[in-house]
Amino acid sequence: MSLDVSPISTSLQPAVHTQGLGKCYQLYAQPKDRLKQFLWRGRRRYFRELWALQGINLEIMPGEVIGIIGRNGSGKSTLLQLICGTLTPTCGEVRVNGRLAALLELGAGFNSEFTGRENIWLNAAIMGLTQEEIADRIEQIIDFSEIRDFIDQPVKTYSSGMYVRLAFSVAVSIDPDILIIDEALSVGDGSFARKSFNRIMQLKESGKTILFCSHSLFQIESLCSRVLWINQGKLMAEGGAKNVVSAYQTFLDRSVLETTEQASAPEEEVVSANLPHTGGYVYGHARLDKIDIQIDGGMDSNAIVKSGQSTVGVKVSFVSDPAVPCPTVAVTLHAMDGRMLTSAATWEDHVTLQRTLNGSGQISIAFEQLPLLKGEYLISVYLLCEQGIHLYDSANGVATLRVQQEGRLQGYFAVPHTWQAN
């Protein structure tokens, strides 16, 4: 096994190359078994092996944006840690060409007794910056973190939000050739979440190599040119984002069908939701304010949706910082087990939202002659950035639709069709 991290020398070299990469853990049933294993010097085995990753062969070229998907425990984070060098492979090799920055466990290397300024010097040096480079960038790092008033205080006095802000600011300040992101495209809240998202998008647009691990298939498909699907430590599929995401979604749907546990429905239908926020918009941010659900023009909480006849309307009110571009809205319909059945989004339909001078706005959508068959379904609403990628706010399962139908058709949708006798 080998780990090689070297400066990038030519654009023709892969940014990341792995060959036969694997990571195995030894699991002991009880602590004393570790001592037995040591004393027997391998003549007997008191542990069982768990392969977190097996036989991973990858070649990632400079400038590629690679998505990594898979269920919890599938080996995604293990792969990223092996590439970063924070884990040692059991077998195989990893070669990384270029300066690497990882947004994995932000702040994991901070010393709680050091001040924020001292931790900047320490972490930037660990990431490969020279003393001169750190001196040139430290003021920009502090400004980006927005915690200048506390920068000379020990980080043990920081809130979790301040801690993450400082760690993120250091990580993206080194101008990396390769950026690794685990789970989140942005950190913090409000204006800083938007600013961190913009910074990552700038790195993408400047041709940096990005490895992005997320459970958000929507973000994966929006951002990535190629996707890796990992399951139980093995590479299941690799290819274009649309094809791999579609295959993975089918796998998830089949997993839902095989389980006997079903998600429980909300106790009460919500046809008008005043969402639990206080005050106006947050600077640099946007949020949902109110959602109204109308069935055939009414707002009766006990109204029944008639399959193929009723019109279901969703009215979304939001508030936003007028200084940022106008947000976009998406509405989704889900089965009660969580599977998304369909979605609609303003950016896909080329609909531009309108705002008042103070940043508030409304948008409505109508699902006419809703073709859902009998059953209960959930409505969710999302408020996103102008590109439809960064999520500002969401209302998951904000309302339940109760659909009745005539006849005995089964399934989720009544699809238009014709019969022809031969």
User: What are the pLDDT digits (tens) for 155-211?
Assistant: 999 987 888 889 889 888 888 899 998 865 556 666 788 888 888 889 899 999 999
Asked if the model's pLDDT at residue 330 lies above 60, the reply is yes
Range of the domain at 220: 2-99+176-256
User: What CATH number did the domain enclosing 380 receive?
Assistant: 2.70.50.60
Whether 188 and 316 share a structural domain: no
Domain boundary among 256, 282, 311: 256
Is residue 211 one of the residues assigned to a domain?
Answer: yes
Instruction: Let me know if 181 is exposed, middle or buried by CB neighbors in 10 A (0-12, 13-18, 19+).
Output: buried
Query: Which among 74, 33, 73 has a CA at the least distance from the CA of 56?
Result: 74
Domain count, the chain: 2
Mean pLDDT of 224-253: 91
Domain boundary among 256, 289, 309: 256
Is residue 147 one of the residues assigned to a domain?
Answer: no
Whether 197 and 322 share a structural domain: no
Q: What is the per-residue pLDDT for 269? A: 43
- Spatial contact of 93 and 1, defined as CB atoms under 8 Å apart: yes
Q: What is the per-residue pLDDT for 262? A: 44
Query: Which among 224, 168, 222, 177 has a CA at the least distance from the CA of 199?
Result: 168
Number of neighbouring beta carbons within 10 Å of residue 6: 10
Whether 192 and 58 share a structural domain: yes
Whether 194 and 288 share a structural domain: no
Mean pLDDT of 294-311: 88
Whether 321 and 390 share a structural domain: yes
**Strand 360-367 to 65-69 pairing:** unpaired
Whether 80 and 201 share a structural domain: yes
Asked if the model's pLDDT at residue 46 lies above 80, the reply is no
Dihedral class, residue 224 (left if φ above 0, else alpha if ψ from -120 to 50, else beta): beta
Whether 327 and 185 share a structural domain: no
pTM: 0.76
If you write DSSP's letter for every residue of 151-192 in order, what string do you get? TTSBGGGS-HHHHHHHHHHHHGGG--SEEEEES-S--SSHHH
* CA–CA distance, 8 with 62 (Å, rounded to integer): 10
Is residue 152 one of the residues assigned to a domain?
Answer: no
If you write DSSP's letter for every residue of 343-380 in order, what string do you get? EEETTTTTPPP-B-TTSEEEEEEEETT--B-SEEEEEE
Is residue 393 one of the residues assigned to a domain?
Answer: yes
Whether 296 and 393 share a structural domain: yes
